Each structure stands twice: as structure tokens, then as C-alpha cells.
Structure 1
Amino acid sequence: MTTTPTLLTIEPLTREAFAPFGDVIQADDAANHFTINEGNTERYHDLARIDPGEDGRAIVSIFRGLPRTLPFTVTMMERHPKASQAFIPLSGRPYLVVVADPASRPAVADLRVFLCRGDQGVNYARGVWHHPLLALEAVSDFLIVDRSGPGENCDVVPMDAPGVIPVTD
């Protein structure tokens, strides 16, 4: 049986909209910030709740993502049950984030798609379902803060029905 893909809606990334899934990492007036280094630097402080999980340690990596072509069909999702995972763009390009509630296996009706600016990062809370990296426009680098430690920390599931991310303007 072939299932007709569901057209997904793309919404802008905001702290409020993304809160059920984790943190938005962004230097703006809404963030706790203050001047340091004799007035030379503005520190945007504690922007994400990095959670390395029990027996884990936080590690820093760079992921280099090939650009995805829109429309794009979401056929799978993943989650990290032991720890959070932060993505901070280094290339200054927009990218997409697809997430779903960690409470149950993701269904196409549960998917939310966010368009992230090149100056916005995200931190997926522990167990949040998300699609792997969705770079746009060109090859893009991302600084990743996630977990190293014992045990499996990546669950991957196929979607029961596909969702399509449409071409953006």
C-alpha cells in the first residue's frame, strides 16, 4: 500500500515555539548577557542545557553537511535517549530542523519543521525525535556538542507515512 505524503508546514525558529524540544542558541537581547573582558566582549551566557547523561561526557565535533534539495521527503527520525545534542551553524547559512515530541514514536502529524537562520543554533533535549542534519544552499559546517560514553545513544525509526518539506521562498 502506498501512502500519499503529507505536506509539512515550515515555521520560523523561535525560543517559544522550540521550547518543547530543547533550546534555541542565539545571541540576542532575550538571552542572559553581560559585558566582560574590560568592556571588550559581550557574553551571551548559558544558552543551552547541555546534558551528557549519566556516565557520559560532553564532546565537541564538527559535522559537514551536504545541502538537501527541496522538496524533501522525511522518511525517518532519530533520537538520543541518553543525552542532549546541540547544533551550532558555522557557515552562516539557513538550515531546517524537523522535530517531534519524545513521548511517543513520531507520526507525520506530530512533525514540526523549523527554518533556522545561520545565526541560530538548536539544542535537542534528551530523547527528542529529530531528523538528521538538513543543511540548505551549500555544504555547511556545524559545531556539535553531544555525548560520548557507554551504551547506545541513537534510536532510528522509519516513519509510518512520509512527510514532505516543500520548496521555500
Structure 2
Amino acid sequence: MSRTVAIKAMDAEAFAAFGDLIDIVGAPDKIINQGFCGRFHDRANLDFSDGRAGISLFKAEPRSLPLKLDMVERHPDGSQTFIPMSEHSFLVVVAPDAGGAPGQPQAFRTEVGQVINFHRGTWHGVLTPLHAPGLFAVVDRIGPGSNLEEHWFEEPYMIE
């Protein structure tokens, strides 16, 4: 028996329980650089139990749909921000916490120019670019311990 999850357009309100949608909707908070640049200020809540914020680069292989979802993970000690380094959308899979295990997964497709920040402890799928080159800058916790918990589903979901 197959369980399916329909992909929704990324929306700040629908994603709010899992993290922050970072984009440039509306007017900038401030105009800087002699009027040539709009600053959209302080758009994500970076949250770390200890350690420090670090910037890493990820290069992920593009995936195709439908996608088999058999595992999600979370980072109990820090939030995690994914900043695409190309002009392509990507897939974001999240699940609410249900007593220490992931609940019903949800899937979102970002728009070009959108960045996401997972709240600390949010169950999420692995980095899932839908197009090459799959390059992302990632801001997350650098510190002691593994900061990774995985959950493997007994029966996978299909993301369509």
C-alpha cells in the first residue's frame, strides 16, 4: 500500500510551524548603498542550544518526482537554513512532531528566490534539489555532538 503526499506551493503561513520562509515579498525594510540596494532585514530566527553559526556549502544530486520518502531527520541543537545558489526551485518536506516521532509529512515546492530556515527540532526530508547543479549555502550549528536524529518510516510515502 502506498501513502502519498501532494506537493504544495511554498507559503509562509503554511510553513510557519516548521520554520521561516525567507523571501523578498513587499517593500524592503531599508534602502542602503546609496539607494541601489533594498535590505530585507532579519528574516529568520537562528536558534542554537550551544556552539555557533557556521556557513557550509552543500552539493546535492537533483531528484525526480515522484519521490520515495523513507526517512526524515531533525537537528535538536540548532536551526538550519538552506540558501539555493542557483535560480531553481527545490522540494521541502517537513513533518510535525508527534510525541517524539514525525507525524504526517507535508511537501512544498519553493519559488525561485525563496530560502527556508528549519526551526530547531523540526522533522524534515533531506536536501532535495529538483534541478542541477544542486548547490546550496547552509547556515547551521557548528559545535560538539552529532545534532542529528533520523526516523525511518516502516512504510514509505510517495511525494507527488
TM-score range, shorter chain: over 0.9
1:89 match: 84
Spell out the pairing of 1:1-169 with structure 2 (5 A cutoff): 4-29=1-26, 33-54=29-50, 56-104=51-99, 105-107=101-103, 110-166=104-160
- CA drift of 1:156 comes to 0.8
Unmatched segments (≥5 aa) in structure 2: none
Identity %: 41
CA distance in 1: counterparts of 2:98 and 2:141, whole angstroms: 21
SS of 2:14 mapped into structure 1: helix
Give the TM-score of the pair, scaled to structure 1. 0.89
Q: Partner letter of residue 54 of structure 2?
A: I
CA distance in 2: counterparts of 1:90 and 1:58, whole angstroms: 19
CA distance in 1: counterparts of 2:129 and 2:63, whole angstroms: 6
Unmatched segments (≥5 aa) in structure 1: none
What's the C-alpha RMSD, in Å, of the aligned pairs? 1.3
The answer to whether the Cα contact below 8 Å between 1:81 and 1:126 also exists between their aligned partners in 2 is yes
CA distance in 2: counterparts of 1:34 and 1:124, whole angstroms: 25
- Give a deviation string over 1:123-148, Cα, whole Å, max 9, x none: 00000000010110222211100001
- Give a deviation string over 1:71-91, Cα, whole Å, max 9, x none: 111000000000000001111
Q: Partner letter of residue 126 of structure 1?
A: R
CA distance in 2: counterparts of 1:36 and 1:42, whole angstroms: 6
Q: Partner letter of residue 14 of structure 1?
A: D
The alignment covers a number of residue pairs equal to: 159
The answer to whether the Cα contact below 8 Å between 1:101 and 1:128 also exists between their aligned partners in 2 is yes
Q: Partner letter of residue 147 of structure 2?
A: N
